[in-house]
């Protein structure tokens, strides 16, 4: 079956702009998580959605937001872009529910954002 | 809060040699532990996971890891590396409904 699909794979923006990234999870998976990966900070958790509800959020400013649709597809948005937002943004999906056992994440290839 | 330490930033090994990547975790309860691998420009691929039971877990591509509660460690091993194993390896612990990753170990293979 198809894996986690992220679009676009690469994009370049300028400071002050906003960006929307998309993630299509594995069919049947209802949980979608987002992570930011940078050389300096490594992999950091952004947020997690399950059945259109944000259940958990990492320590990022309010400029970072997301949502999940009824078909489990998810988008994340970053407004008023800063140079430090340049990163690889990874989406992961899971067919398990947290608190019901270990949650195995399957990651997409990521969206590489460059802010100039 | 949980945390993961990967003390080795970069490791270089010869093709055919054995490999051990170190991982130490901090978590108050029984940990769920993972090893992921990332090739350049790619996402993360799950190598193996530990939930409970047998402390020696087998993964894909010939990798294995051993959970040692007394040492809070979950080291990754492979008896004989191949050039295709060159990548970055991340250890992670699940807790508080999210994965917390280590900073990664970059593996270089020399012929």
Per-residue pLDDT tens for A17-57? Answer: 999 999 999 999 999 999 999 998 999 999 999 999 999 99
**Percent of chain B clearing pLDDT 90 (strictly above):** 81
pLDDT at B11 exceeding the cut of 60:
yes
The pair phi, psi for residue A84, each rounded to 5°, is -70, -5
Which chain A residues are Cβ-neighbours of B97 within 8 angstroms? 48, 55-56, 98-99, 103
Average pLDDT score, chain A: 93
Look-up of token digits 């800063």: A82
- Shortest alpha-carbon distance between residue A116 and chain B (Å): 20
- Number of A/B CB contacts below 8 angstroms equals 53
Look-up of token digits 């259940």: A55
Helix (H, G, I), strand (E, B) or coil at A41: coil
- Shortest alpha-carbon distance between residue A40 and chain B (Å): 9
Whether a cis peptide bond, with omega within 30° of 0, leads into A8 is yes
- Yes or no, beta carbons of A45 and B98 under 8 Å apart: yes
Helix (H, G, I), strand (E, B) or coil at A29: coil
Tell me, what's the pLDDT at A2?
A: 80
């Amino acid at each position: 079956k198809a894996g986690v699909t992220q679009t676009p794979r690469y994009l370049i923006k300028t400071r002050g702009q906003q960006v929307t990234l998309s993630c299509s999870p594995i069919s049947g998976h209802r949980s979608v998580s987002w992570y930011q990966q940078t050389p300096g900070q490594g992999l950091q958790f952004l947020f997690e959605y399950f059945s259109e509800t944000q259940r958990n959020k990492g320590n990022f400013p309010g400029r970072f937001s997301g949502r999940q649709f009824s078909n489990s597809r998810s988008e994340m948005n970053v407004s008023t872009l800063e140079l430090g937002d340049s990163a690889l943004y990874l989406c992961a999906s899971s067919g398990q529910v947290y608190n019901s056992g270990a949650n195995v994440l399957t990651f997409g290839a990521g969206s590489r954002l460059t802010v100039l | 809060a949980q945390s993961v330490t990967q003390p080795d930033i970069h490791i270089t090994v010869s093709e055919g040699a054995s490999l051990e990547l170190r991982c130490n975790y901090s978590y108050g309860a029984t940990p769920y532990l993972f090893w992921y691998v990332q090739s350049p420009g790619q996402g993360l691929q799950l190598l193996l996971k530990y939930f409970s039971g047998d402390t020696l877990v087998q993964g894909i591509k010939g990798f294995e890891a051993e959970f040692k509660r007394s040492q809070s460690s979950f080291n990754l091993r492979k008896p004989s590396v191949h050039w295709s194993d060159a990548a970055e390896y991340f250890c992670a612990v699940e807790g508080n409904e999210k994965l917390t990753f280590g900073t990664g170990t970059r593996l270089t293979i020399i012929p």
